[in-house]
Amino acid sequence: MQRLIDAFFNSVRAFRKLAASEKAFQQELMLLVLALPLGWFVSVSWRGYALLIGAVLLLIMVEVLNTGIEAACDAFSREFNVDIQLAKDCGSLAVLISVIIVAGVWGIAIIERITGLPI
């Protein structure tokens, strides 16, 4: 049980650090704050609501992992290294893919709400 408690406090520390200093994380938190009530009006079911919010949470999770990759790379070396550049670029690509997933899920939900037809 102590391990879970320690993991929780480590997670809270990371959340506070990212919320205070990482612009992308701050923007995605604001997106989540907006998505929580908006998703309720956009979705046509509880399952749809969960998918809308889950997509935003997925984006936040990938952003956290990307920030972790960048921090680990910077701790290793701040000098240019082609392998470090690839690691950071891959993290950035993962965030972009997550953004596309969020846009797709929300786009489909909005179209479904407007047309009344399940897609």
Residue 119: name the closest of 61, 45, 31 by CA: 45
Length of the chain: 119
77: its two tokens: 């070396």
Clarify whether 112 is annotated catalytic.
no
- 60, amino acid identity: I
Residue 100: name the closest of 62, 50, 46, 49 by CA: 62
Residue of 63, 70, 79, 112 marked active site: 63
Residue 91 CB neighbours (<10 A):
19
Residue 48: name the closest of 105, 102, 101, 100 by CA: 105
Active-site amino acid positions? 63
